[in-house]
Structure 1
Amino acid sequence: MARSSQISDFKEEAAQAARQERTIQKQIDRSDRDGKEGKTKKSAMQSGARAYPEPPLPGQHLKKPGLEADLELKPMFDAPYYKGSEKLLDKIALITGGDSGIGRAVAVLFAREGADVAVAYLDEHEDAKETKRAVEKEGRRCILISGDVADPEFCKHAVERTMKELGGLDILVNNAAFQEHVNSFEELTEEHFDRTLKTNLYGYFYMAKAAVPHMKNGSAIIMTGSVTGLLGNKDLLDYSMTKGGIHAFTRSLATHLVDRGIRVNAVAPGPVWTPLNPADKSADRVANFGADTPMGRPAQPEEIAPAYVFLAAPSCASYITGEVLPIIGGYSGG
């Protein structure tokens, strides 16, 4: 009975965190209404197995935390041309922010490579159920765990449930994130700053702290960094700070855990079409999302996910730790 009450507390805490995110978002939305950004159009690079959407994209603004189910242009996550080869056979992975975007694409490819997956997410229940269906379609098990990674007790709970229901923990993917831009430094409130750091830095620390004691030689931790942590971003001051911190945490934790045989790496994506950005930027900015990259478009989640497979698989990355892998489409700034 006490455990049921604790799970209920986690869900209410997650709902409260989502409400807080929406409050922060509303403050910035008001600031956006008077601002306009010019639209640009250039030929986008298409060099993948299939063609990917290019700007102008649907000008859509989502309420936080952002539901993938609500996006008019659905992110491409299923990677139909990616063939699995048992690189992660019978491994068990816990992915935070696994309900949508990059997290969902990673969950699907991990399952295609033979892993069972625990998906930790805030309160995007509809998206999480779709991820579960996609993982199970690959013939693997999936459990859903709702809560706020900014709470260390929830992180312990997520690891414990993964261990109990799936039988272990071999791979941790720290991917959950909060992002909300500002138009001036003065707009960055303490509440806004605190929420970004608590989700993006504290959450990564808490989850790693909970997971590491249960991981063994050959296990892997993968962090989601960002091009903003490499180059900065004038509108994402706090977010860029946390992503730079994640890169430093990755390198430091890797050296700390090397004697235990646990590899730690990060992927630093450029613009990727997920709910994160439509739940941040105004509709007119979303329409041109990714247009300023040399490739002229944002990545789709299925274009980023194979890097996580590569870093998770002992057969591919046994000599790789402490690295930050940028996948930024030639991105060069702002």
Structure 2
Amino acid sequence: MELSGACAFVTDGSGGLGSVIAISLAKEGANIAVGYRNGLAHAEEVKAAVEKQGRKAILIRFDQTNPVSVDEALRNVAEDYGGCDLLINNAGMAAGGRTLPHGDLAALTPEIWDEMMVVNVRGPYLTSRAAASYLRKSKWGHIVNLGSTIGYGTWGASASYAPSKGAIVPLTRYLTAALAPEVAVNCVAPGLMEDTQMSSSAPMSFVESWQNQAILGEITSLNDVASHVVAFCKSGTVAGQVLVVDGGIHFN
């Protein structure tokens, strides 16, 4: 399936992974709506990079935890592009800049728990719900959710955000059943990614622990993750699948 002329809404399209996804989709011919909440300068850089590929780009500032903001964002995308064809649910959070000791349940307060669930689970649900009518009318009609390898095995047992990221898997399955046959929904679940805030700020010992567990001996490439997002968007016969991209830490 060719994506030339499609409109892709990428949430947190100004972030490290989101920007690579947005540019990768533009290279395939898609026009991009760059969703962002903060960081206008980064969003403008992504817009310029998309336009450099000869595609159109617009900036959509919104709060994916707020239903009114989400609905308005999708209306704005549809007004600019005549609809919405591809939704990439990329926005999420780990601990919101907090330091939560592994396994410290007392430090994981109800407020922090609720925030992660709202951002990581409710957010993709709200954006998918708001985009559903547009996606159903589209000849492309795809949603790709970004999960995490942290939701598999025992690797994420002490990670505070693992429950919220792991919940993306059943959300993907639910959306697949709810939106088929007009819309295909899939999920890409990356491991620790290179050149991101998490990997750049982490101690080298932490990064090396991921490399040592990966049978390919590498942490996850942003370009590799983006390529699989694009592949899901181009597929006409894949739905309800979760692809783990973590160098071979988990077999799924």
TM-score strictly above 0.5? yes
Q: Distance in 1 between matches of 2:51 and 2:163?
A: 36
Q: Deviations over 1:57-99 (max 9, x none)?
A: xxxxxxxxxxxxxxxxxxxxxxxxxxxxx82100001010111
Please name the residue that 2:45 is paired with. Answer: 130
Q: Distance in 2 between matches of 1:111 and 1:218?
A: 15
Question: SS where residue 321 of structure 1 aligns?
Answer: coil
Tell me if 1:255 matches 2:170.
no
Q: Distance in 1 between matches of 2:73 and 2:217?
A: 39
Q: CA deviation at 1:167?
A: 2.1
Unpaired stretches in structure 1, ≥5 consecutive residues: 1-85
Give the 3 Å change call, closer, same or farther, for CA 150–134 of structure 1 in structure 2.
Answer: same
Q: Distance in 2 between matches of 1:289 and 1:148?
A: 34
Unpaired stretches in structure 2, ≥5 consecutive residues: none
1:322 aligned to which of 222, 232, 240: 240
Give the 3 Å change call, closer, same or farther, for CA 282–307 of structure 1 in structure 2.
Answer: closer
Give the 3 Å change call, closer, same or farther, for CA 310–135 of structure 1 in structure 2.
Answer: same
Q: Is the 8 A contact 2:6 2:29 kept in 1?
A: yes
Q: CA deviation at 1:300?
A: 2.4
Please name the residue that 1:182 is paired with. Answer: 100
Q: CA deviation at 1:278?
A: 4.9
1:176-255 → structure 2 map (5 Å cutoff) = 176-180=91-95, 182-183=100-101, 184-215=104-135, 216=137, 217-232=139-154, 233-237=156-160, 239-255=161-177
Q: CA deviation at 1:176?
A: 0.2
Which structure has more relative contact order (CA 8 Å, sep 6+)? It is 1
Q: Is the 8 A contact 2:78 2:84 kept in 1?
A: yes
Q: CA deviation at 1:165?
A: 1.4
Q: Is the 8 A contact 2:207 2:219 kept in 1?
A: no
Q: Distance in 1 between matches of 2:36 and 2:66?
A: 13
Q: Distance in 2 between matches of 1:132 and 1:319?
A: 31
Larger of the two Rg values belongs to structure? 1
Q: CA deviation at 1:288?
A: 3.8
Please name the residue that 1:297 is paired with. Answer: 218
Q: Deviations over 1:231-275 (max 9, x none)?
A: 2513323x211122111011121012113x110110111111243
Q: Is the 8 A contact 1:95 1:120 kept in 2?
A: yes
Please name the residue that 1:28 is paired with. Answer: none
One-letter code aligned to 1:236? A
Q: Distance in 2 between matches of 1:332 and 1:223?
A: 19
Q: Is the 8 A contact 2:86 2:140 kept in 1?
A: no
Identity %: 29
Q: Is the 8 A contact 1:271 1:289 kept in 2?
A: no
Displacement over 4 Å in runs of 4+:
281-287
TM-score by length of 1: 0.68
Q: Is the 8 A contact 2:215 2:248 kept in 1?
A: yes
Please name the residue that 2:2 is paired with. Answer: 87
Q: Is the 8 A contact 2:244 2:250 kept in 1?
A: no
Q: Distance in 1 between matches of 2:195 and 2:202?
A: 14
Question: SS where residue 198 of structure 2 aligns?
Answer: coil
TM-score by length of 2: 0.89
Q: Is the 8 A contact 2:192 2:199 kept in 1?
A: no
1:22-101 → structure 2 map (5 Å cutoff) = 87-101=2-16
Tell me if 1:141 matches 2:72.
no
Q: CA deviation at 1:284?
A: 5.3
Question: SS where residue 211 of structure 2 aligns?
Answer: coil
